[in-house]
Amino acid sequence: MIHLQNKFLGPSSDSFVGIDMGNLYLKGLIVKEGKVSDYFMEKKEVLSEALKKIWIDKKISERKVKISLKDPACLIRYFPFPKMEKKRLKEALFYEMSKFIPFSPEEVYYDYFVLKENNPSELMILLAVAKKDFLDGILEDLKKINLKVSEITLDSVCLINFFLDNYKENLNANACILDIGYKFSAITILNKGVPFLTRDIKFSAQDIFQVISRTQNIQICDVQEWLKASKNGQLLSDIVQDSLSNLSKEIKSSFDYFEVNKGGHIDSLYVSGGLSGIDGMSKALSDFLEVKINVLEAIPVSQDIFSPSFSRESFQPIKHGFPAVFGLIS
């Protein structure tokens, strides 16, 4: 399910489609012979129908897909665990899992990654789980349209991958990634390049959309266009002041937890998701948290992963929603 690595797509004959399943939109990158040739962003109402439309519109012949998920039915946990042989380790994690997650082991699919060796007898483990009923429903929809899943991972893991691949100059600092989703958001704190904490937070783009719709007397479907107007940047931060204040308090509590446990402070916050590129968001968060705010740039440093057919110009307006997909295909 999971992979953490420090390399991007290189010379390869591999062809597949990477899909961030998203809360509201399906966002994807089409990879042909190791190069990103195209992208798509489609509203997710009926999953199988939306995917069928994408495959027809983009004339995609490839049936192999990699998918990334974000949902309360998916969790990531970090903890120390006794060092042991690989096969025994996975079995032992199954029996000990209930100590770390609110689901029974029988309810979930799971995978793990060894982050580091704490000492000769102890490992630091990243555990990723997804509830079976949630994931099985998605896999059934993909099977209906003859798509074959070669890899499943979680958005937070993808964003860690993207950060490790593209922000190497900051790997000796302590950083936080804020991923703002339409229905669910999450933060991940990295301690000098090693993930320390991932948790869901009570904040979403949908909350912001509803506040704007109510205060500006516009339809919820028109909010995105309203947000694109740069002149609304300062107005946005004024309108959602309470929401951003509550978000900042949640983030600050995680910063405090990190500082107590690691004895260091968070150097910078990287914001991801469709709202990250909206004028006014970063400044408002910076004022609340008193920390440097960066937008997690959704174009990878390594430009040679793109094929000549990839349209950078048309991709620019929606690029902020794609860092997880680039992390997925890395």
Does residue 302 register a pLDDT over 80?
no
Within a domain: residue 281? no
Within a domain: residue 26? no
Within a domain: residue 278? no
Average pLDDT, stretch 269-285? 79
Does residue 8 register a pLDDT over 60?
no
What is the pLDDT at residue 88?
94
Within a domain: residue 115? yes
Contact between 41 and 31 under an 8 Å Cβ cutoff? The reply is: no
Within a domain: residue 35? no
- CATH number for the domain spanning 101: value is 3.30.1490.300
Number of domain units in the chain: 1
Strands (E), the chain: 16-20, 25-32, 35-43, 64-69, 74-82, 108-119, 122-131, 148-154, 174-180, 185-191, 194-201, 268-272, 292-295
Checking 252-255 for CB contacts under 8 A at 24+ apart, the result is: 252/289, 254/176, 254/187, 254/189, 254/197, 254/199, 255/176, 255/189, 255/289, 255/291
In tens, the pLDDT along 43-92 reads 988 999 999 999 999 999 999 999 999 999 999 999 999 999 988 999 99
What is the pLDDT at residue 96?
94
Average pLDDT, stretch 203-229? 84
Q: In DSSP terms, which residues pair with 152 in a beta bridge?
A: 67
Query: What's the distance, CA 104 to chain centroid?
Result: 25
CA 286 – CA 310 distance, rounded (Å): 34
Does residue 226 register a pLDDT over 90?
no
- Domain region containing 96: 74-131
Within a domain: residue 196? no
CA 75 – CA 48 distance, rounded (Å): 24
Query: Across 94-108, 196-210, 298-312, which has the greatest mean pLDDT?
Result: 94-108
Within a domain: residue 125? yes
Angle at 150 between CA 149 and CA 151, to 5 degrees: 100
Write down how long the chain is.
Answer: 330
Within a domain: residue 90? yes
3-class state of residue 264 by DSSP: coil
Helix H or strand E encompassing 287: helix 281-289
In tens, the pLDDT along 249-276 reads 999 999 999 999 998 899 999 999 877 7
Question: Which stretches of 69-119 are DSSP H helices?
Answer: 86-96
What is the pLDDT at residue 42?
94
What is the pLDDT at residue 279?
67
Confidence band, pLDDT 50/70/90 cuts, at residue 231:
low
Does residue 9 register a pLDDT over 50?
no
Contact between 141 and 93 under an 8 Å Cβ cutoff? The reply is: no
Angle at 223 between CA 219 and CA 227, to 5 degrees: 155
pTM for the model stands at 0.91
